[in-house]
């Protein structure tokens, strides 16, 4: 499937990873958080030093690289938070000069995060990392207690005083319980820390509004261009298709009119040909109307319209929906044509046999997941298949995310804020 990149949104469906694999990764992520805290503190010190040196002019050369380093650390923290289901948007603007970076609020929000994160968030990482490690130490007591005793170390595990193999074995279930508890609460406390991180590393309210204005201006221009292109397509299809057939139909009927008295048989043949031409012109007009707004979409709604697409697809497509009603017609149309484009791309490029389409609505957000069992490994930066889709959805503040690990599956996640009319 050839898919472009929108904003490299988290792999969709990452509303907090679950499962044993994700839980086992918790201690590693906790250790990464601790390392990022240390790196961020060092980078923040360089930023402050570079800002101070701006007074003597040297900071003009020191300050930008220090800010760049701090932003790389902050980006790593954002990616780590994203793996925990907390998405943090980059708040940086196009500032490049030292003075612009010095005035940018995002620079000092990053510094504040780097200073406060070790103070406020270290307990979460320490808890998520320390409990499994201490639990492993308890499980290892039968193998290490004698060595500890010979080395003069403390022969105790919590409240258990380890002086024999029996007492060492008693520490094993305690260690296993600590491991299980650490892996259970670890993702929760790390997600709590990531939520706090978003408060500083995410865009401020002012930055969000500025980005929103920029997005609206860009999507409005894209929408105007898309509408102009669509009108040109309709005009071209009418001119080259139905209009040409109707012109030929009129000429054929004129010839038949002149031949009615002289050669009735030839006139009859011309009338038959005219009838066939009118039927083809009508089919082309119906196809054109279907491309503008499919009748099944207007009559049956989004879910049934996508099921109709599934029946026409060359793949085995399964559609499921829990929509409680119907979105507004513009939103229905945008999501319908987005799924239509995705199914066409999957059929051409993914090498897939089955596709699943899921429609879901909750808390004012319409989401659609299109998942295929193809080979995966798609680079979203290549291709142009979703640019038109992104333009359609961006008008409604919609988003697209693509997740395609090597070996598959490829998943495209669409989100559109909207209201739904109850059935």
Determine what percent of the chain is predicted with pLDDT higher than 70.
79
Q: Is residue 168's pLDDT more than 70?
A: yes
Span of 171-180, 204-213, 263-272 with lowest mean pLDDT: 204-213
Burial class (CB in 10 A: 0-12, 13-18, 19+), 264: exposed
Asked whether the domain spanning 299-422 has the same topology as the one spanning 220-292, the reply is no
d(CA 299, CA 320) in angstroms, rounded, equals 19
Confidence check: pLDDT of 13 > 60? no
CA 292, CA 227: separation in Å to the nearest integer? Answer: 11
Question: How many CA within 13 A on the CB side of residue 184?
Answer: 6
Average pLDDT on 294-315 reads 83
From start to end of 269-404, where are the E strands? 316-321, 325-327, 354-362, 365-372, 399-403
Q: Which residue, among 421, 416, 224, has the nearest Cα to 325 in the 3D structure?
A: 421
Length, in residues, of the chain: 423
Domain 220-292 annotated CATH 1.10.10 = no
Rounded CA separation 397/50 (Å): 39
Cα–Cα distance for residue pair 41/374, rounded to 1 Å: 44
Of the listed ranges 57-66, 131-140, 193-202, 372-381, the least confidently predicted one is 372-381
What pLDDT band is residue 44 in, cutting at 50, 70 and 90? very high
420: alpha, beta or left, given left = phi > 0 and alpha = psi -120 to 50? beta
Q: What is the pTM of this model?
A: 0.54
What token pair was written down for 18?
A: 């679950």
Give all strands (DSSP E) within 228-323, no chain letters: 316-321
Are 253 and 270 within 8 A, CB to CB?
Answer: yes
Name which residue leads in pLDDT, 244 or 179.
Answer: 179
Alpha carbons within 13 A on the beta-carbon side of 354: 5
pLDDT on residue 289: 61
- Asked if residue 73 lies in contact with residue 43, where contact means CB atoms within 8 angstroms, the answer is yes
Please report which helix (H) or strand (E) contains residue 329, including its range: helix 329-345
Residue range 14-37, pLDDT digits in tens: 444 446 677 778 888 888 888 888
pLDDT of residue 352 exceeding 60: yes
Q: How confident is the model at residue 360 (pLDDT cuts 50, 70, 90)?
A: very high
Residue 90 confidence (pLDDT) above 60: yes
Task: Give me the residues paired with residue 320 across strands.
Answer: 358
350, 410 Cβ separation under 8 angstroms: yes
Identify whether the C-beta of residue 411 lies closer than 8 Å to the C-beta of residue 13: yes
Which helix (H) or strand (E) segment holds residue 135: the answer is helix 105-139
Q: Are 163 and 155 in contact (CB under 8 A)?
A: yes
Which two structure tokens, joined as six digits, stand for 250? 């009129």
Segment 319-346 mean pLDDT: 86
Phi, psi for 359 (deg, rounded to 5): -105, 135
What lies within 8 Å, CB to CB, of 6 at 6+ separation is 380, 386, 390, 399, 400, 401, 402
Torsion angles phi and psi, residue 151, rounded to 5 = -85, 0
- Reported confidence tier of residue 338, pLDDT bands at 50, 70, 90: confident
Top pLDDT among 63 and 387 is at 63
**Can you name the CATH fold of 299-422?**
Heat Shock Protein 90 (3.30.565)
- Predicted local distance difference test score (pLDDT) of residue 6: 37
| pLDDT reported for residue 23 | 77
Where are the domains positioned within the chain?
Answer: 20-203, 220-292, 299-422
Model pLDDT, residue 298:
79
A 10 A CB-CB count for 110 gives 26
- Across the beta sheet with 399-403, what order do the strands follow? 316-321, 354-362, 365-372, 410-417, 399-403
pLDDT at 253 over 90: no
Characterize the bridge pairing of strands 399-403 and 365-372. Answer: unpaired
């Amino acid at each position: 499937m050839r898919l472009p990149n929108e904003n490299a949104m988290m792999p969709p469906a990452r509303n907090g990873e679950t499962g044993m694999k994700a839980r086992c990764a918790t201690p590693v992520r906790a250790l990464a958080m601790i390392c990022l805290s240390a790196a961020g503190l060092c980078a923040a010190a360089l930023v402050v030093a570079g800002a101070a040196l701006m007074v003597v002019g040297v900071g003009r050369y020191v300050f930008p690289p220090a800010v760049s380093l701090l932003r790389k650390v902050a980006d790593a923290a954002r990616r780590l938070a994203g793996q925990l289901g907390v998405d943090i948007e980059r708040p940086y603007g196009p500032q490049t000069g030292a003075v612009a970076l010095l005035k940018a609020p995002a620079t000092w929000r990053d510094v504040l995060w780097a200073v406060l994160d070790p103070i406020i968030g270290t307990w979460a990482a320490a808890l998520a990392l320390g409990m499994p490690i201490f639990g492993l130490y308890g499980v290892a007591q039968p193998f290490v207690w004698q060595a500890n005793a010979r080395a003069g170390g403390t022969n105790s595990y919590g409240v258990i005083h380890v002086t024999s193999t029996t007492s060492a074995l008693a520490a094993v279930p305690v260690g296993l319980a600590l491991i299980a508890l650490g892996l259970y609460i670890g993702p929760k406390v790390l997600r709590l820390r990531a939520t706090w991180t978003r408060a500083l590393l995410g865009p401020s309210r002012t930055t969000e509004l500025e980005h929103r204005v920029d997005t609206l201006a860009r999507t409005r221009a894209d929408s105007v261009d898309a509408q102009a292109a669509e009108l040109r397509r309709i005009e071209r299809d009418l001119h080259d298709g139905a209009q040409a057939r109707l012109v030929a139909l009129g000429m054929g009927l004129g010839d038949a009119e002149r031949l009615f008295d002289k050669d009735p048989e030839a006139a009859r043949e011309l009338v038959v040909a005219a009838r066939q031409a009118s039927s083809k012109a009508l089919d082309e007009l119906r196809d054109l109307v279907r491309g503008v707004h499919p009748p099944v979409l207007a009559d049956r709604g989004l879910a049934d319209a996508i099921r109709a697409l599934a029946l026409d697809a060359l793949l085995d497509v399964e559609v499921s929906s829990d929509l409680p009603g119907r979105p507004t017609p513009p939103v229905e149309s945008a999501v319908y044509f987005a799924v239509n484009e995705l199914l066409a791309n999957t059929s051409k490029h993914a090498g897939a046999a089955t596709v699943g389409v899921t429609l879901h609505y909750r808390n004012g957000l319409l989401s659609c997941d299109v998942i295929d069992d193809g080979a995966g490994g798609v680079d979203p930066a290549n291709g142009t298949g979703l640019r038109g889709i992104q333009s359609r959805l961006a008008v409604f503040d919609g988003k697209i995310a693509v997740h395609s690990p090597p070996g598959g599956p490829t998943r495209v996640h669409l989100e559109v804020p909207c209201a739904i009319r109850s059935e």
